[in-house]
Amino acid sequence: QKEVEQDPGPLSVPEGAIVSLNCTYSNSAFQYFMWYRQYSRKGPELLMYTYSSGNKEDGRFTAQVDKSSKYISLFIRDSQPSDSATYLCAMIVGAAGNKLTFGGGTRVLVKP
Amino acid sequence: EADIYQTPRYLVIGTGKKITLECSQTMGHDKMYWYQQDPGMELHLIHYSYGVNSTEKGDLSSESTVSRIRTEHFPLTLESARPSHTSQYLCASSEFQTDTQYFGPGTRLTVL
C-alpha cells in the first residue's frame, strides 16, 4: 500500500464549478502538506503549503488538512479552463533531513 | 517564482552516447533533487543531495550518476544512454528548514 493515495481521475468539470481534490495518507508522522499543479510537459508548480490542521485560503484555492482522519483536500472555486492540469499532493515528516512523499496526481479537466 | 533552470529542455540522442543534464538554482538552497517522470505517471525520486559533496540515491534505481561540487549546480549524467532512459527528468531544490520543493521546467529525453 502506498503511503499517499490520490485518485488519478480524470476529473471533468464545467467552467465555474468547484473542483474538489483529496489525498489520504497512512503515516501519522507527516506534518507538512503541499499541493502542486503540473501542466502537461512542465515541472510541478507549488500552489499551497500548510502545516496545521484546518483551512488555508489563497485566492480561488483552499487547502484543508484533517490530521485526525489523515486526509487533505484542495478546493478550486470558480474553475477556469486554465486550471486544467494534474494536481499532486505532497507531504513530509518534520522539516530537515526528510524526503517529500508525493501522491500520484489527479488529472483535472475544466470544460468551457 | 522559482529560479531553477534546466538545460537542455529537449534532447534526442542515439543509444550509447554519454549525456549530462544540467540543473542550476539561484536561491541558495542546500537540498536538490532529480526526479524521473514518464507521461501521465508518478514522480520517482532518483537522486538527491543535502549540500556540497553530498549525494544519495533515491527510491527508484537509476543508472545515472550525479555530482554536487557547487551549491547551485546539480548535474545528472548517463554514461551510456539506452532507449529505456527515455523519460522526463525534473530537477528540484528546497530550503533545508521547510523542504518545500521548487521544480525546474524539466528535460525531455528521447533515446533512439
What are the pLDDT digits (tens) for B22-80?
999 999 999 999 999 998 888 999 999 999 999 999 888 889 999 999 999 999 999 99
In this predicted structure, the answer to whether residue B96 has a pLDDT above a threshold of 80 is no
CB pairs under 8 A between A and B: 54
Retrieve residue A51's grid coordinates: 502545516
Cα–Cα distance, B94 to B102 (Å, whole number): 6
Let me know if B6 is exposed, middle or buried by CB neighbors in 10 A (0-12, 13-18, 19+): buried
B99 contacts in A (CB within 8 Å)? Answer: 32, 92, 95-96, 98, 100
In this predicted structure, the answer to whether residue B2 has a pLDDT above a threshold of 70 is no
In this predicted structure, the answer to whether residue A95 has a pLDDT above a threshold of 60 is no
Does the beta-carbon distance from B48 to A46 stay under 8 Å? no
Q: In this predicted structure, which of B10-24, B44-58, B94-108 has the lowest mean pLDDT?
A: B94-108
A102 touches chain B (CB under 8 A): yes
Question: Which of residues A51 and B6 earns the better pLDDT score?
Answer: B6
Average pLDDT over residues A67-86: 96
Q: Return the residue in A5, A42, A99, A107 with the most chain B beta carbons within 10 A, the one to mutate for interface testing.
A: A99
B1 touches chain A (CB under 8 A): no
pLDDT of residue A92: 87
> Can the peptide bond before residue B105 be classed as cis, meaning omega within 30 degrees of 0?
no
A89 touches chain B (CB under 8 A): no
Q: How confident is the model at residue A108 (pLDDT cuts 50, 70, 90)?
A: very high
Chain A closest CA to B90's CA: distance in Å?
Answer: 7
Question: Which of residues B99 and B69 earns the better pLDDT score?
Answer: B69
pLDDT of residue B4: 95
Chain B closest CA to A53's CA: distance in Å?
Answer: 17
Chain B closest CA to A104's CA: distance in Å?
Answer: 5
Q: How confident is the model at residue A53 (pLDDT cuts 50, 70, 90)?
A: confident
B43 touches chain A (CB under 8 A): yes
Cα–Cα distance, B45 to A46 (Å, whole number): 17
A17 touches chain B (CB under 8 A): no
CB B9 within 8 A of CB B110: no
In this predicted structure, the answer to whether residue A20 has a pLDDT above a threshold of 90 is yes
Question: Which of residues B44 and A99 earns the better pLDDT score?
Answer: B44
Does the beta-carbon distance from B97 to A88 stay under 8 Å? no
